[in-house]
Amino acid sequence: MCGILAILLLKGDLGPGSAPADGRSVGGWEDGAEWWMRNRGPDGQSEERRHIGEEGGLLLRASLLQVRGGAKLGGPQLADGLGNVLCFNGEIYSGLSELGQGVNDGAALLSELGASPEGGAAGVFSRLRGPWAAIFWEEGTQTLWYGRDVIGRRSLLRFKGDDRLVLSSVSLSPFDAPEEVRSAWEEVPPGIYSVSLASAVGSNAVPEPLHHEWVDPIPAALAQRGKEEPSSGPGPTEGGLDVMASAEHLLRLLRNSVKLRCSLVDHRYDHSQGVGDLPQAKVAVLYSGGLDSAILAALAGEAVEGPIDLINVCFVGGKSPDRLAALEGLRDLSESGREYRLVEVDSTLQEVDAMRSRLLQLLQPTETIMDLNIGASLSIAARCKGRLKRFQDGGIVTVSEDYTSAARVILCGQGADEQCGGYGRHKTKFQNGGWPALSKEIEHDVNRLWRRNLGRDDRVISDQGREARFPFLDEDVALSLHKMAVEVKCDPLKPLGEGDKQVLRVMAKNFLPGLARASQRPKRAIQFGTRIAKLANARDFGSNRAANMASAGSVVLPEFDAVGR
């Protein structure tokens, strides 16, 4: 599945053919979900409705982007024979008794939830490995369960009123709705939650959700990040720190992570544009030519039989730093003999303006200019449509001027900078407060990924009918980086391009052929590497300098739009 929605009303039956008793606009909300449900799940939709007592109702709906499972489905399977209903968005890599190639993981999860497992639904969700957001109606106990994986890699928003609860992949309130309505939507924090409705029948208020602890040791450990004392940094044995050994160990985990995310792909798009008998890719990589995406591309090349599409977006006619780095990187990667293809996705600020209202709806509850620039870059890149190039006979040649990738899965590098000290502010924190301040800042960044980045990125990428997978945020990789000494992950005493994300740079340079140049490339956030921020700043603030003085990236869009762009 991909898009999920639940609307609970304590007063107002949502059963078939009925409307809320007081005529409120829940139907409008339901209709407002149609466009993003269809975009996120182009393979079909399903819904179930349940009566809650004599006056209430529950609507559950999901749409399907099928990536796994042998037989092609016309829509998601939501209900079992017991009346239970599961709306699931994500990928389960382990944690269930029946998983593997060709298995529908959502159906396997519904089966296990309905089998009265030890530890109940909370125990089942706690054991899952992989990115997920879920809504589960347990008929026997009249309980509504919902939650997100411990890292928060899939979007789930919550709107709670006195007598209603709405759970949704995307906000149902228009972006231009009053601030008090928009602000009522919030990202569901990573975790497992339940609302018992057996005792709420006849009540005028939805009970407060019960938060369940992670019972499995791995998510339990990840949930504790940031709660320990920060590292004081290198001691007397500073010279003995073995960055090389740490990089090699991390590479083994990351290689497994990429292999897993590339192997569990059973479906591609049938309608995508190809060129003659050009083989279709089943996996794409969001590719800037920088360190993180180069590592993912190299490891995907080891894991995938057949071509890999490298997706690169640019807003300045093919002359952005990311485009130049991507062309250089295509040449380096192709020296391995594996088949890499660069998809040059070109766009303009005018195209972003044309899709602005749609983007603003998807971005909620994030709503800064920086969010818009990042969201636009990711959304346009996720179309995977542009000029196709490959390395051939010692040079880069154009294969097609109008190509659309068949890949439904895009590997993305989210989490690398936050976990490995890749931001300029990490160096600043070290200069002002030493190793403890740096360690604390890294954990702070990691702990807010779900709120600042991951929900937003899932919403804009999934809206293009693609699924983002984040190898750097695999549970084993994340736990290893959490336990790794901060001075191994990064060394702010060294120059940029060497000390930032040190462990990844050592990995790329020493253990991944063809990545020597990528291992030295400086960090560029997507809004800068594609040049969308520079163009937007010049138009909206007059210049980059003026935008920086106004802290343009953190300007809140509704306030900015209210005074005129």
Read off the pLDDT of residues 142-152 as tens digits, 9 standing for 90 and up.
999 999 999 99
In this structure, the answer to whether residues 138 and 249 fall within a common structural domain is: no
In this structure, the answer to whether residues 209 and 353 fall within a common structural domain is: no
Mean pLDDT, the chain, integer? 90
Of 174, 159, 90, 555, residue with least CA distance to 362: 174
Q: Kindly report the three-state secondary structure assignment for every residue of 57-118.
A: EEEEEEEECCCCCCCCCCCCCCECCCCCEEEEEECCCECCCCCCCCCCHHHHHHHHHCCCCC
In this structure, the answer to whether residues 219 and 260 fall within a common structural domain is: no
In this structure, the answer to whether residues 144 and 259 fall within a common structural domain is: no
**342 pLDDT above the threshold of 70:** yes
Total-model pTM: 0.94
Q: Which of 161, 191, 223 is the last residue of a domain?
A: 223
Question: Does 168 reside within a domain?
Answer: yes
Question: How much is the pLDDT for 340?
Answer: 98
In this structure, the answer to whether residues 214 and 318 fall within a common structural domain is: no
Q: How many domains does the chain have?
A: 2
Question: Can you tell me the mean pLDDT for 93-109?
Answer: 83
* Distance from chain centroid for Cα 160: 24
Angstrom distance (rounded) from CA 30 to CA 415: 33
In this structure, the answer to whether residues 374 and 500 fall within a common structural domain is: yes
Question: Does 238 reside within a domain?
Answer: no
Residues 411-438 pLDDT 10s: 999 999 999 999 999 999 999 999 999 9
CATH number at residue 216: 3.60.20.10
Question: How much is the pLDDT for 19?
Answer: 38
**501 pLDDT above the threshold of 80:** yes
In this structure, the answer to whether residues 250 and 215 fall within a common structural domain is: no
Question: How much is the pLDDT for 271?
Answer: 55
In this structure, the answer to whether residues 189 and 328 fall within a common structural domain is: no
In this structure, the answer to whether residues 26 and 157 fall within a common structural domain is: yes
Percent of the chain with pLDDT over 90: 73
- The residue range of the domain holding 89 is 3-223
**178 pLDDT above the threshold of 70:** yes
23 or 131: whose pLDDT is higher? 131
Question: Does 407 reside within a domain?
Answer: yes
Q: Which of 156, 191, 223 is the last residue of a domain?
A: 223
**202 falls in which pLDDT band (50, 70, 90)?**
low
**560 falls in which pLDDT band (50, 70, 90)?**
low
In this structure, the answer to whether residues 163 and 254 fall within a common structural domain is: no
Q: Which of 223, 257, 278 is the last residue of a domain?
A: 223
Question: Does 563 reside within a domain?
Answer: no
**16 pLDDT above the threshold of 60:** no
Residues 460-497 pLDDT 10s: 999 999 999 999 999 999 999 999 999 999 999 999 99
CATH number at residue 260: 3.40.50.620
Strand (E) or helix (H) holding 4? strand 3-9
Question: Does 562 reside within a domain?
Answer: no
Question: Does 233 reside within a domain?
Answer: no
Question: How much is the pLDDT for 196?
Answer: 94
Question: Does 555 reside within a domain?
Answer: no
In this structure, the answer to whether residues 174 and 289 fall within a common structural domain is: no
**236 falls in which pLDDT band (50, 70, 90)?**
very low
**30 falls in which pLDDT band (50, 70, 90)?**
confident
Question: Does 145 reside within a domain?
Answer: yes
275: helix, coil or strand?
coil
Percent of the chain with pLDDT over 70: 91
Find residue 344's DSSP bridge partners. Answer: 312, 387
Strand (E) or helix (H) holding 404? strand 395-404
In this structure, the answer to whether residues 250 and 200 fall within a common structural domain is: no
Question: How much is the pLDDT for 179?
Answer: 84
**13 pLDDT above the threshold of 60:** no
